[in-house]
Amino acid sequence: MEHGDLHQFLGGPAGSALSLPTLLHVGAQIASGMRFLSRLNVVHRDLATRNCLVGAGVTVKVSDFGMSRPLYSQQYYRVRGRVLMPIRWMAWECILMGTFTPASDAWAFGVTLWEVLTRCREQPYGALSDEQVIANAGHHFRAQGRQEYLPCPPGCPPALHGVMLRCWARDAADRPSFGLLHRLLREQAGMA
């Protein structure tokens, strides 16, 4: 697509000019694409802005080519010297148990939405090392109140950050479906 991947697009001059309703529309398009995949029982496993393409009119499509591009190699953690994993986008159950479901994609969507609203100016959990991100997954698993969440992006309405927090619910069953996420983002953008 003509504008490349969403991560580079949002981090560039065009991304700085986008309004909050446009950013919410971007999020709604990603949720719509993921709703389509989940209806086909497809689990993406690597949803992030690096894996979304941008076309004319800020049309966004979900793809999956991030690991194949050296540009994003620092966004993957090498496990046991072999397997690359995008741990900063992964639900705790993916990191600790290798369990991937539409609900773990919803977790990644929350991180992706955070990326969109920060215009990719920061890496998720940028203050944490990879090892600390893995330890944080353990804190989510144990649910003892020590887990860290991504902060509310500047200019983001608290209700929208609340949607992200729902995506990061400890119990997968408590995370919103992509149909609900699509509807909530369209409502927030004033498109419903």
Catalytic residue among 5, 46, 64, 171: 46
Q: Which residues of 138-158 are buried (b: 16+ CB within 10 A; e: fewer)?
A: eebeeeeeebeebebbeebee
Helix intervals (H) in the chain: 6-11, 13-16, 20-39, 92-97, 102-117, 130-142, 158-167, 178-188
SS3 label, residue 91: coil
Q: Is there a catalytic annotation at residue 46?
A: yes
Longest dimension (CA), the chain: 47
SS (H, E, C) 54-71: EEHHHEEEECCCHHHCHH
**Which residues are catalytic, by number?**
46
